[in-house]
Every structure is written in C-alpha cells, then in structure tokens.
Amino acid sequence: MTGFNPRFTITPKVASALMRIEAAKESIRYLPITPTVLATLRETARLFSTHYSTMIEGNRLTQEQVSKVLKKREHFPGRERDEREVLGYYAAQEKIEQLAAANKPITVQQIKLLHALVMAGGRRRIKPTAFRDGQNVIRDGRSGRIVYMPPEATDVPGLMKDLTDWINRSAIAGLPCPIRAGIAHYQFATIHPYYDGNGRTARLATTLILHLGGYDLKGLYSLEEYYARNLGAYYDALTIGPSHNYYAGRAESDITKWVDYFCEGVADSFESVRKRAQKAADAGDVDASPRLQKLDPRQRKALELFRQSDAITSRDVEALFAISQRSARNLLSDWVKRGFAVVLDPAKRSRKYGLARELNELIQ
C-alpha cells in the first residue's frame, strides 16, 4: 500500500458550509440545556439516526415501529431481520459515545467493533468482526449489472490501515473535521471491507470522527436523516470515477463532488439541531443558573448518571466514558475535591457517590 491521499478541492460551497457548521456549533455550545431536556433531544436524534440509516439499506420498519422495538421491545411478525438491524445500529451508537468520551485516535479495531455491533442484533457481548475474505461485487437490483467492484480482499486490511492512519494524520495537520469525516465515509464505502453492513458502519464511523473532533453537538443531530431524504443525491455523490472497478480509476478519482455534498449535509443537520435546541430554550426548558455552563464536558455528561440514580459508582463512570476503573476512581476523587460530587458510602470496594446538593437543580 502506498498510503491514502485523497484528491479534492475546498470549493466556495464547502467554505460556506464550514462557516455555517461553526456558527451552529457555537450557538448550541452555549445553550444551557438541562440534562432532562438534553436526554429527550438526544434520544430523538438516536431514534432518527437508527430509523433513517437502516431505512437506507431497505429496512421496512416505520419510525414509530422503530421506537417501539427500541423502547418496548415490541415485535412485528415477518420483520425479525429489520428488528435486529434496528437494535444493532442503536447499540453501535451507544458505543460511539463511549469511544468519543475516551478521546483516543480512531483505530481499525474500533471500526471492526462498530461493525460487529451493527450485525449483532442488539447483543452486547461481541467480538470485532474480521474483514471479508472474498470479493463482494455490488450489482443493480433490477438489471443485475455490476455497479461497483471493490478492491480484492487481500488488499482490504492494508487499505483500512491506510485510511485510519490518514484520519489521525489529517487531524494533526488541521484538516477541518467535517471534511475529514466526509472523506473517511467515502473511502470506507470505496473499500467496502465487509460482505454486509458497509453503509451502516461507514455512517457510524463518520459520526465517531465528528464526535472525536468536537463536533458532537451534544449528540443531537442525525446525518442519516439528511442522506435518507434524498437517496438519489447520496448515491450519486458517492459514485465517482471513470469505471465501476476500484483498480480502474476509482482509487485516484477527484472526490470534490462528494465533499461538497457531505459538508452541505452537515451544515443542514447542524442548523436543524440549532433550531430545535433554541425552540426548547425559548419554551423555558433551560436552566437559568450559570452553574451548568461552568461544568466541564465530562461533568455535564455525568449529570445523566445522577439523573438516573441518586448514587453512582466508579464502574458507572468507567462504562460511561470507556476508561479504566483506576481512571474512573481518580476522576471521581477529583470531582469530590472540586465540589461536583460527594461521597455517600466510603466503603473502599463499594464506594458510592452523589451529586453535590447545590447542583441538584440541574437534574430536576
């Protein structure tokens, strides 16, 4: 492998989209939304993402049915595969939040783990899935003609390593995160490393890159909705190159058209989130106190734990942020010193923590 070096141009359309993205991001950052409202908006975004991403792949469940499958574990006869897809995608979104909280460079192993969750149908004890070991030709469902022939299976591991190396290298070099995420989405779809689940995993990996780059918007947006509302444009933007064969020009193609499409989609999605969050603020569903704004990102996220339970443990924090138990204990100790948390049960093995009394209003 010679390394991944995408060809693209930052057009005026992309430059405009980047400015819109930054404006929406800053606006949402300073909206002091309470954990209760935030949880509601985030859950809606997860449901939207799950519904639209699986719908793109042919899932037949309606948005209402998706909600029932996830919340009530209702079953719909003849839709068992659709149900498994929904449960898998939702579980992978939860993993993204943990990986983003750990704030470590993206790896091939993380992508394999996301794919495993996508395909596991809601099962949580899974192993990262291996890449395909054979060719996976994509054909037109009606005509049967070859639409795309991905690279040979023997080249996939090297290409995926090149991709993750480029993602991390371009982050250090300062390439804007939305552009980086969009290019990663395109290249993942181009490599097509699995027999099934490529589109869903590409969209999840894209979201992970955005979150790691600080573009999580409190977890309130759904890029999948943007793709699904105009599938023709989505597939058209991904179809680049003089041939359907990876080795006949696809790998070296100029992907400016896709970068334009993707950045425009991020801008639209972020602006939609800004409107919904502002509407919640205008309705008075915000905390008037400056206390919420003074908390750091991890403390704000931990408020969700305290909203669910009066007492938490280091294991709860370990799971929330995907960190070691030792790091979780150190974090809790620091929170106690800073007046964010208090020790409820001092027993060393089962030590429990509560939210400082003066901050209880933030979780009401």
333: domain CATH number is: 1.10.10.10
Structural domain includes residue 4: no
Over residues 55-93, the pLDDT tens digits come to 998 999 999 999 899 887 788 999 999 999 999 999 999
3-state SS assignment for residue 232:
helix
The full length of the chain comes to 364
Nearest to 297 by CA among 322, 326, 332, 321: 321
Are 178 and 325 found together in one domain?
A: no
Structural domain includes residue 166: yes
What integer is the mean pLDDT of 198-214? 95
3-state SS assignment for residue 114:
helix
pLDDT at residue 118 in the model: 95
Average model confidence (pLDDT) across the chain? 87
* Domain stops at, among 237, 258, 280: 280
Structural domain includes residue 285: no
Structural domain includes residue 2: no
Are 263 and 303 found together in one domain?
A: no
- Strand pairing report for 352-355 and 146-148: unpaired
Are 62 and 169 found together in one domain?
A: yes
336 confidence band (pLDDT: 50, 70, 90): very high
User: Given a cut of 60, is residue 286 above it in pLDDT?
Assistant: no
Q: Which amino acid is at 315?
A: R
Are 83 and 117 found together in one domain?
A: yes
Are 247 and 322 found together in one domain?
A: no
275 confidence band (pLDDT: 50, 70, 90): confident
122 confidence band (pLDDT: 50, 70, 90): confident
Looking up tokens 């006869």, which residue turns up? 77
The range of the structural domain enclosing residue 296 comes to 291-363
Are 274 and 139 found together in one domain?
A: yes
* Domain stops at, among 280, 311, 340: 280
Structural domain includes residue 213: yes
pLDDT at residue 199 in the model: 93
Are 156 and 303 found together in one domain?
A: no
pLDDT at residue 284 in the model: 56
Q: Residue 74 maps to which CATH number?
A: 1.10.3290.10
Measured between its terminal Cα atoms, the distance across the chain in Å is: 55
More confident residue, 85 or 364: 85
Long-range Cβ pairs for the range 49-52 (8 Å, 24+):
49/89, 49/93, 49/207, 49/222, 49/223, 49/224, 49/225, 50/86, 50/89, 50/90, 50/93, 50/224, 51/86, 51/224, 52/222, 52/224, 52/225, 52/227, 52/228
- The whole-angstrom separation of Cα 248 and Cα 244 is 8
Are 53 and 162 found together in one domain?
A: yes
User: Given a cut of 50, is residue 229 above it in pLDDT?
Assistant: yes
Nearest to 108 by CA among 151, 153, 161: 161
| CA dihedral sign, ordered 127, 130, 131, 133 | negative
Are 346 and 221 found together in one domain?
A: no
Are 245 and 174 found together in one domain?
A: yes
Structural domain includes residue 101: yes
In degrees and rounded to multiples of 5, residue 284 shows phi and psi of 90, 10
Cα distances from 92 to residues 115, 202, 205, 213, 354, in angstroms, run 8, 12, 10, 18, 29
Are 122 and 209 found together in one domain?
A: yes
Q: Looking at the 3D structure of the chain, how many domains does it have?
A: 2
What integer is the mean pLDDT of 337-356? 85
pLDDT at residue 1 in the model: 47
Helices (H), 255-341: 256-282, 291-294, 297-308, 314-321, 325-337
Are 219 and 312 found together in one domain?
A: no
Structural domain includes residue 140: yes
User: Given a cut of 60, is residue 183 above it in pLDDT?
Assistant: yes
- The whole-angstrom separation of Cα 352 and Cα 349 is 9
Question: How does DSSP classify residue 211?
Answer: H
Helices (H), 104-155: 108-119
* Domain stops at, among 280, 310, 332: 280
Element (H, E) at 55: helix 35-56
Question: How does DSSP classify residue 245?
Answer: B
